[in-house]
Amino acid sequence: VKRQEGQRQAGQGGQAGQGQEGQRQEGQRQAGQGGQGGQGGGQGGQGGQGDQGVQGQGQNGGNNRGNDRGNNGGNNSGNNNGLALSPENVQDASKSDGAAQAEAGQAASLTDDANFINFCTGKTLTNGLQQDGGSCNGIVMGDIPSRNNMISCIILNPSSGEDLEENKSFNVDIQVDNLVAGSFTNPDNTYYSAPQQLVGGKVTGHSHVTIQSLGNNINSQNPPDPDNFVFFKGINDVGNGQGGLRAQVEGGLPAGVYRLCTINSASNHQPVLMPVAQRGAQDDCIRFTVGQGNNNNNNNNNNGQNNGQNNRGQGGRNGAGNGGGNGGAGNGGAGNGGAGRRNGGRFGGTRGRLPFSRRPFIA
């Protein structure tokens, strides 16, 4: 089965890359090289798993690190740059919608006889870019770790509910198990452009930490706008070599209430893929305060019940007030002209991305 033109993803199998950032979960199912042959095809799933598809990986290829598969740097993944899907890589599961054994409430899967190799035909291709308007990614998902090598993460510092001093630098410390850290590809032109890969059976990639404002309510009932954050950092080093990673929040944060989360990613920035559905999470989140004094938790708990539903009117969908969590840089979040999400200042948002080397946040 041959690919049609638009799909340039033929089987880049070993790009490996040192990916970082990788927010925007869309399209992240590319991982995995040649060796897995068909990871990606069977993803169909309900509506729009759009990225599942392209196989074309080599049967021997795999981690461009040469681990366990030795594919000469992973450049061709064993497929000699061919634009044809090897019959050995066809996954029969993709031919069934799963309805025969489905339980009540389960959706029928998309189906395809050729691993969805042409799923992105006629659509805007991701093509290594962070497409604000959405895209379709044909790169396969790639290598999936064993159950014994699933990633798990916990935030060590700050601690949950801790109150930090206003505008004072602090470290975010995390512990990540079963991630071979320090692999981070150029997010400007290799975003989701290669499959997830394993080194010694573990996902190779990196982690990020992101902090968002919750206004003045530690029990906010309003999900924060993902396009608004006060701090974001991709951790592209190996840390202490035992899963310990650190990011410094230089200059600290203004007084307020915040949510801190991790985003663990494969080399090319896609969220990490695990082997089973029923499992613990691969990321961690905590809430903490800045400049609230010793009784911050009690005060915020009380305020939370009263203010939780009222914040919507204060400036955008999260109502986090003053700039939607942008350190007061724009009053009124997304709903009041969007200044909070596009101000590009110290606590600016993500719009209008600068070249990688000149961005205020490493992403």
CATH of the domain at 255: 2.60.40.10
227 assigned to some structural domain:
yes
- pLDDT score, position 293: 87
Q: Look at 325 and 184; give whichever has higher pLDDT.
A: 184
Q: Examine residue 119 and state whether it is found in any structural domain, yes or no.
A: no
Q: Residue 177: pLDDT above 80?
A: yes
Is 70 a member of any domain? no
Residue 233 in any domain: the answer is yes
User: Which helix (H) or strand (E) element contains residue 290?
Assistant: strand 285-290
Q: How high does pLDDT run on average in the chain?
A: 74
Whether 290 is covered by a domain: the verdict is: yes
Residue 195 lies inside a defined structural domain of this protein: yes
Reported as a pLDDT band with limits 50, 70 and 90, residue 32 is very low
Residue count (the chain): 363
Which distant-in-sequence residues (6+ apart) come within 8 Å of 188 by Cβ? 129, 130, 355, 356
Overall number of domains in the chain = 1
CA distance 80 to 58: 8
Q: Which two tokens stand for residue 276?
A: 């089973």
Identify residue 18 by its one-letter amino acid code.
Q
pLDDT of 82 reads: 73
Q: Where are the alpha helices (DSSP H) in 174-310?
A: 296-307
Contact indicator for 109, 100 with CB cutoff of 8 Å? no
- pLDDT tens sequence across 242-297: 999 999 999 999 999 999 999 999 999 999 999 999 999 999 999 999 999 854 44
Look at residue 48 and tell me whether its pLDDT is greater than 70: no
CB 43 within 8 A of CB 112: no
Check residues 226 and 298 and name the one with the higher pLDDT: 226
Would residue 135 count as lying in a domain?
A: no
Domain range enclosing 164: 148-358
Give the pLDDT band of residue 144 (cuts 50, 70, 90).
Answer: very high
pLDDT for position 78: 52
Residue 36 lies in a domain: no
173 touches 158 (CB < 8 A): no
Please, are residues 154 and 264 in contact by the beta-carbon 8 Å criterion? no
